[in-house]
Amino acid sequence: MSWLQSNLARRIIPCLDVRAGQVVKGVRFRDHQVVGEIETLAMRYRDQGADELVFYDITASPEQRSVDIGWIERVSQVIDIPFCVAGGIRDVAIADAVLNAGADKISLNSPALENPDLINQLASRFGNQCIVIGIDSIAEDADYQVRQYTGDPDKMRTARRTTLDWIQEVQQRGAGEIVLNCMDADGVRDGYDIEQLQQMRSICQVPLIASGGAGNRNHFAAVFQQADVDGALAASVFHHGELTIPNLKNWLTDQQIMVRNV
């Protein structure tokens, strides 16, 4: 990492999966449990020094409905760090509403796979800095493949694209950031998928955020040092309170990893 001529901090990003207006977490995308209220958790993570928050409406895409704007406005009023809204953003009008409600970024997953040109439309309208592409990736047939509609096990299906190809395509279309969720690692808290992230980093010129697998502080250090990602996203390890963000950041600082201490 030291070759980067930048004082940009590596970002710690709690992800709040939202279902029916509450924050939930499941293992391998199944059996979701309620972990708390959206605004309560948003405030708590802001106070702890989270660098950014991602709210992922996991019910939105499979059920073909869009995100509720009300909670986005409420979150925007109470927190003073950036946040991204994912799930159900399937056209320019919804993107416009979500950004106007106060979201700093919007993240697209399944709708971008259904209609890749939507990425171009959104990037030219709003600027690529607020267009995030979320990718659910799984190891299959000696390759990494993209999965679609992962919010609902009954609707989940293969997107018939390799992760490598899709990452290259979304950058060409105007993605400003990529969140790579490595499904084999997700929810099992055995560490980020370093090998896959390294491979994708080598072809990713925009910020790359690692997702899936964080279980302890070593996993964060490893993903920054070995995969050179810009941010690390995690949910359960923070929601359950085993790892607090101040402790994590102090420890990462000791490991010579540049983070924002508050």
Partner 1 sequence: MTQVVLIDSGGYNIGSVKAALRRLDVDAELTTAHHRIVAASHVILPGVGAAGPAMNKLKSHGLDRLIPNLQQPVLGICLGMQLMYAHSAEGDTECLGIFDGEIKQLQPKSAERVPHMGWNQLQWQQPHTLQQSLMEPAWMYFVHSFAAPVNGDTVACVKHGETFTALAQRANFLAAQFHPERSAKAGQALFEFFLKNN
Contact positions vs partner 1 (CB under 8 A)? 3-9, 11, 46, 51-52, 73, 76-77, 80-82, 99-102, 104, 126-130, 176-177, 205-208, 228, 230-231, 260, 262
Exposed / middle / buried, residue 191 (Cβ in 10 Å: 0-12, 13-18, 19+): middle
Q: Which is nearer to partner 1, 3 or 241 (CB)?
A: 3
Q: Report, in Å, the least distance between residue 262 CB and partner 1.
A: 7
CB 20 within 8 A of CB 240: no
Distances in whole angstroms, Cα of residue 31 to Cα of each of 25, 190, 214, 215, 235: 8, 19, 19, 19, 15
* Nearest alpha-carbon partner for 147 in 139, 156, 155: 156
Q: Which is nearer to partner 1, 24 or 103 (CB)?
A: 103
Q: Which is nearer to partner 1, 16 or 183 (CB)?
A: 16
Q: Which is nearer to partner 1, 77 or 115 (CB)?
A: 77
The one catalytic residue among 51, 57, 136, 186: 136
Residue 143 falls in the annotated catalytic set:
no
Dihedral in degrees, nearest 10, Cα atoms 74, 234, 158, 83? 30
Q: Which is nearer to partner 1, 60 or 84 (CB)?
A: 84
CB 107 within 8 A of CB 86: yes
Q: What does the angle CA 126 – CA 146 – CA 28 come to, to the nearest 5 degrees?
A: 105
Distance CA 185, CA 16 (A): 18
Write out the two tokens for 10: 């590596």
CB 101 within 8 A of CB 69: yes
The one catalytic residue among 17, 51, 186, 230: 17
* Nearest alpha-carbon partner for 212 in 197, 191, 228: 191
Residue 47 falls in the annotated catalytic set:
no
Q: What does the angle CA 35 – CA 149 – CA 173 come to, to the nearest 5 degrees?
A: 110
Q: What are the catalytic residues?
A: 17, 136
